[in-house]
Amino acid sequence: MVDKKMLAAMPESLISIVNAGYAIWANDDVDPKLRARFDSERIPVAGVRHVRVWGLQVDDERELPGLERTEIPDDEIWEVNLEARNGSHYEVESRLLKAAPED
């Protein structure tokens, strides 16, 4: 599921999820319709991937008057592939999850 190089780059909270093999929601901010698709106590983890979202830099003052340079920084996101109750898979940002407690 995860190679050693990827595991070394992961945040500690994500390593816990990978080692457990199951996740739960970290808080109640997740849409209730999405939450309803998954087990409430142990959501199976099918995989993990690292995504880099490229930022934006605008140097044209005509586009944004008064601002010579506007930057939105790049973002590094870890996505966890979760298995729903019906067997379908959904990619969810890892910050929304934590490791499920052991049985």
- The 10s digit of each residue's pLDDT in 48-87 is 999 888 877 666 556 656 665 667 788 889 999 999 999 9
More confident of the two residues 68 and 94: 94
- The 10s digit of each residue's pLDDT in 37-47 is 999 899 999 99
Q: Kindly state the average pLDDT of the residues 17-34.
A: 93
Confidence of residue 9 (pLDDT cuts 50, 70, 90): confident
CA distance 76 to 81: 16
State how far the alpha carbon of 12 is from the alpha carbons of 17, 26, 100, in Å.
9, 14, 14
- Give the dihedral sign, CA 22/99/89/46: negative
Q: Which residues of 81-91 are buried (b: 16+ CB within 10 A; e: fewer)?
A: ebbeeeeeeee
Domains of the chain, residue spans: 4-99
The pLDDT of residue 4 is above 90: no
Quote the pLDDT of residue 57: 67
